[in-house]
Chain A
Amino acid sequence: MSNRIYIYKRYERFWHWSQALLIITMMITGFEVHGSYLLLGFKKAVQLHTLAAWTLLTLWAFTIFWQFTTGEWRQYLPSLKNVGAMIKYYTVGIFTNAPHPFKKTVSQKHNPLQRLAYLALLAFISPLIWGSGLFYLFYGDWARLGIDKSLSLEVIASLHVLGAYMITAFFFIHVYLTTTGHTVFAHIKAMITGWEEEDDHHQPQAAKSR
């Protein structure tokens, strides 16, 4: 009744979940550093946030390497084709039980809207949060680097916080969208096992037309 495709390779799943853990850690500790609430105490929050930053940096180094050696980086190339169909699906089709306009394949894991969203994340939010985060991390060296006159911690921190809010908003949307598979946990299950189960009642048009 359903066919399975092996869509997320082992490294990819490892990368995804460890990144998820790190980013959740960074959100929780980051907003504590920001003063939004008191949870671990400022000192522990800073320590954990810093540790997570370095860990994530390492993880990314490996992941970038992986993306390029496997060619997976192409998954993030945007294509405007079918974006309209996707928008229509999320705003109308999903409520009327219309078929999903996109079928995941090993070579195309992300639907066009997803591609755009991840690209925005990669091209805008990430540099914002990483750039500001690294400057923040090396605040103690600003004077030695001769940039203490031209930078202000207030500006760096504000940019970082802006990035943090964006990534947090992204996180919630992302989590919600995982429930939009053919069953509520279908996507999450796929990211855990690597296997995506296709529901053949809803043969996507995109797949048919190919």
Chain B
Amino acid sequence: MNFIKYTLATIAALALIAPAQANNAPENPKPSPKLLKSTADHSKFKELQQTFNSGPEVTKVCLSCHTEAAKQVHMTKHWTWEYRNPETNQLLGKKHVINNFCTSTASNYGFCATCHIGYGTENQHFDLTSETNVDCLVCHDQTGKYKKPSGFFGSPVAKDTEFPPGSGKIVKGINLAEIAQKIGKTRRQNCGGCHYNGGGGDGVKHGDLDSTLDNPDKDLDVHMSADGGNFTCATCHKTDGHQVPGSRYAPTAMDKGSPEIRGKHGHDNPSTCQSCHGQAPHKKEAKLNTHTAKVACQTCHIPAFARGDVPTKMSWDWSTAGKRDKDGKPLVIKNEEGHTTYIGTKGDFVYGENVRPEYLWFNGTVKYTLADDKIDKANEPIFINKFEGSPDDGKSMIWPVKVFKGKQPYDVENKTLTTNHLAGADDSAYWTNLDWPKALHAGAASVGKTFSGKYDFIETRGMWPITHMVAPKDKAVPCQECHTRADDGRLKSITGVYIPGRDTKGWLDLLGGLMIAGAIGGGLLHGVVRIATRRKEK
């Protein structure tokens, strides 16, 4: 049978070559022309058929048709690196926060701005109004060839360039015209280029975002796997006028809305689980719906993060940085898997894979410790950002988080976290010179502050919501792992809610135990006496 089919198919294929015959082959319906999803083939545009020497040259051409695009991008955090949280009134965004990975973007723009959606981002005072500095390519490249190398302030390199100057190392130039001609919708790799690599490497920062999401199997991510939903990031983070919903600065901790209906705008954040799944998503096991009032979907459906084989960093100790090897170069120590566990420029790292999250009540408010906030060694660890919430504020749900442990420099006299000058070829950048006082002076100066001269290291904690890498339902957290009295129960530390199987009252169990022991003991005693007295009689 199969052989016949193949033969027929071959004949049909041959028939195609002879055009007159093609339509008569019964087993070979006329192939429909491939449907192009875009109405524009950018390779046909004359304007893009030229040599581009820089990013802004490309953008200028993009904007000649997409006249409003840059203005839209200007209104995003991707561009401003700034966000005022209306809840806390704190001024956040990459421009302002200090974290416990590479600590701050200020004074490190050559390096950090590779993830800015703009070109030539020299420092935090970059021109917010420049339209031609908006980087269209980084989000719309389809070739995977677009790169913004470290050290170039967010600009791509169009011609082979020696970098650092005089080093003999060449950064290869890329063909911007080719990339521009093949432009398309944002793919997961575009988002991932920055969001997978936060903290300086694949999977380092988030734990639930790494390059394995480019092509995950179903166990890793039901929504994004090809045989699951085959979502891109933008399927949930559905943009509107370039505005990307779903923010880590102001997450939606509780969404009581019903699923989105086309044409209806019920949700200000279409990236929540509820915006598709609603409030009673468990059809077969309706009992589970009794959890949705208090437990975030992620808590059960993301049993662990860093599940895709890429480890995430769990801690970073800057206090041990500074060691050199025999040749005077920063010391490097790697583990069996080839991951750096110590590097002289950065200190000690601990990695984790398949990490069980920590759980807490979270109401969507995140409080940051910013550069001006006073900190006290007595309050160690200092929360770089703290998820707020309580069982009874009516706004909180039980959420999974990655808690990242850090130990980083702080100004002992000013009692603040420090802005650290790390990257650069100058004589104060820590990664070049391994000299903290110089790096701290330069860092402070870059944000108009003065370093007191006295520094020490302080334990810090950062919190990251765990919300990606949703497992298939049969891989969700088993009931047992929360409904247990065991010390390693997942929700051991959650207060303010009665969890069957975990909670009990000591007195009740004592009373009940006594009743049962009394019943059994009484029976036994009575029985023994019965037996004893019967014997006597005989």
Please say whether chains A and B are actual partners in one complex. Answer: yes
A129 CA to B98 CA in the complex, in Å?
56
- Determine whether B9 belongs to the interface, using a CB cutoff of 8 Å to chain A: no
Contacts of A154 in B (CB 8 A): 498, 503
Known contacts A158-B505, A172-B516, A173-B519, A33 near B287 by CB under 8 Å: no
A92 CA to B141 CA in the complex, in Å?
95
A154 CA to B533 CA in the complex, in Å?
48
A178 CA to B94 CA in the complex, in Å?
76
- By beta carbon, the residue of chain A nearest B497 is A153
- Determine whether B325 belongs to the interface, using a CB cutoff of 8 Å to chain A: no
Q: Which secondary structure dominates chain A's binding surface?
A: helix
Which of B131-139, B217-225, B464-472, B520-528 touches A?
B520-528
Contacts of B509 in A (CB 8 A): 36
- Determine whether B201 belongs to the interface, using a CB cutoff of 8 Å to chain A: no
**Does the CB pair A34–B504 fall under 8 Å?**
yes
Other-chain contact of A95, B287, B512, B518, B533 (Cβ < 8 Å):
B533
- Determine whether A68 belongs to the interface, using a CB cutoff of 8 Å to chain B: no
A176 CA to B533 CA in the complex, in Å?
17
Q: Contact flags (1/0) for B481-503 with A, using CB distance below 8 Å?
A: 00111000000000000101111
- By beta carbon, the residue of chain B nearest A168 is B516
Which residues of chain A in 129-161 are interfacial with respect to chain B, using CB atoms and an 8 Å cutoff? 139-140, 143, 152-154, 157-158, 161
**Does the CB pair B479–A46 fall under 8 Å?**
yes
Q: Contact flags (1/0) for B150-173 with A, using CB distance below 8 Å?
A: 000000000000000000000000
Which of A7-15, A37-45, A102-110, A199-207 touches B?
A37-45
- Determine whether B511 belongs to the interface, using a CB cutoff of 8 Å to chain A: yes
Known contacts A38-B480, A41-B480, A152 near B533 by CB under 8 Å: no
**Does the CB pair A169–B519 fall under 8 Å?**
yes
Other-chain contact of A42, B484, B520, B529 (Cβ < 8 Å):
B484
Known contacts A172-B523, A179-B527, A35 near B484 by CB under 8 Å: yes
Contacts of A94 in B (CB 8 A): 530
- Determine whether B286 belongs to the interface, using a CB cutoff of 8 Å to chain A: yes
Other-chain contact of B534, A36, A97, A143, A165 (Cβ < 8 Å):
A97
**Does the CB pair A161–B287 fall under 8 Å?**
no
- Determine whether A170 belongs to the interface, using a CB cutoff of 8 Å to chain B: yes
Known contacts A34-B504, A42-B484, A164-B512, A140 near B479 by CB under 8 Å: no
Interface size range on A against B:
35 or more
Contacts of A50 in B (CB 8 A): 287
Contacts of A96 in B (CB 8 A): 533
- By beta carbon, the residue of chain A nearest B500 is A33
A165 CA to B498 CA in the complex, in Å?
19
- Determine whether B452 belongs to the interface, using a CB cutoff of 8 Å to chain A: no
**Does the CB pair A176–B523 fall under 8 Å?**
yes
- Determine whether B331 belongs to the interface, using a CB cutoff of 8 Å to chain A: no
Other-chain contact of B516, A38, A90, A165, A180 (Cβ < 8 Å):
A165
**Does the CB pair A161–B504 fall under 8 Å?**
yes
Contacts of B484 in A (CB 8 A): 35, 38, 42
Contacts of B511 in A (CB 8 A): 162, 165
**Does the CB pair B483–A143 fall under 8 Å?**
no
**Does the CB pair B527–A153 fall under 8 Å?**
no
Contacts of A192 in B (CB 8 A): none
Other-chain contact of B290, A140, A158, A175 (Cβ < 8 Å):
A140
Chain A: minimal CB distance from B538 (Å)? 10
- Determine whether B293 belongs to the interface, using a CB cutoff of 8 Å to chain A: yes
Which residues of chain A in 36-93 are interfacial with respect to chain B, using CB atoms and an 8 Å cutoff? 36, 38, 41-43, 46, 50, 90
Other-chain contact of B293, A143, A158, A169 (Cβ < 8 Å):
A143
Q: List 12 A-B contacts (CB under 8 A).
A: A32-B501, A33-B500, A35-B483, A42-B480, A43-B479, A90-B526, A96-B533, A158-B508, A173-B522, A176-B519, A176-B523, A176-B524
Chain B residues within 8 Å of A, Cβ to Cβ: 286-287, 289-290, 293, 478-480, 483-485, 498, 500-505, 508-509, 511-513, 515-516, 518-520, 522-524, 526-527, 529-530, 533-534, 537
